[in-house]
Amino acid sequence: MSTKTLALAAVLLSAFGAVAAAQTGSVEVTNAWARATPAKAENGAAYLTLQSPTPDRLTGASTPVAKKAELHEMTMERGVMMMGPIEGIDLPAGQPVTLKPGAMHIMLLGLTQPLVAGQSFPVTLSFAKSGTREVTVSIEKAGAMGPGGEAAGGMQMPMSMPMPAGK
């Protein structure tokens, strides 16, 4: 085999390896956080940012701090903020998707313990293509609007929201 042929084969193998690595790359999860809850709160929420190198879909979540974790979305319907479960969250290739207060989030139903500021808890995320991934969620103070304890700026989101009929 000539040197040129070997060089070309090496370049092609290297390129194929990079493409294969990108296609099987895992979803990057950053800024996973939740708000502290009152001692007797039944529900809470977790927020985070996801970015996938290839198209994927967040299909579910679970955690030992709640009986059930659901993907939820908040929407405005006839001037009223409504919240309800959704089937999944699409992750376009290379684009960050942020779950945040007042929008998409992971709803923690039936808390098994209060969420205490300064502590953390695990959440297992399920993806259509990337499988499962466990992340650590940091608990911020009540009323925080982001990781690092960003203040709510006067807008508090109530812990209970009306659920639309049929959802």
Per-residue pLDDT at 149: 61
CATH number given to 26-140? 2.60.40.1890
CB-CB neighbours of 17 under 10 Å: 10
* Single-letter amino acid, residue 74: M
Most confident segment among 5-14, 25-34, 110-119: 110-119
Q: What percent of the chain has pLDDT over 70?
A: 74
pLDDT band at residue 76, thresholds of 50, 70 and 90?
confident
Per-residue pLDDT at 151: 53
Of 41 and 9, which is predicted with more confidence? Answer: 41
Mean of pLDDT over the chain: 83
Per-residue pLDDT at 4: 53
Structure tokens at 123: 């959440």
Per-residue pLDDT at 148: 82
Per-residue model confidence as pLDDT tens digits over 96-141? 999 999 999 999 999 999 999 999 999 999 999 999 999 999 999 9
Per-residue model confidence as pLDDT tens digits over 143-157? 999 998 665 443 434
CA distance 126 to 111: 20
CA distance 30 to 19: 23
Side-chain half-sphere CA neighbours of 102 within 13 A: 10
Q: What percent of the chain has pLDDT over 90?
A: 69
Please give the full DSSP string across the chain, using - where no structure is assigned.
Answer: --HHHHHHHHHHHHHHHHHHHHHHPPPEEEEEEEE---TT--EEEEEEEEEBSS-EEEEEEE-TTEEEEEEEEEEEETTEEEEEE-S-EEE-BT--EEE-TTSSEEEEEEESS---TT-EEEEEEEETTTEEEEEEEEEEPTT--BTTTB--TT-PPPS--PPPTT-
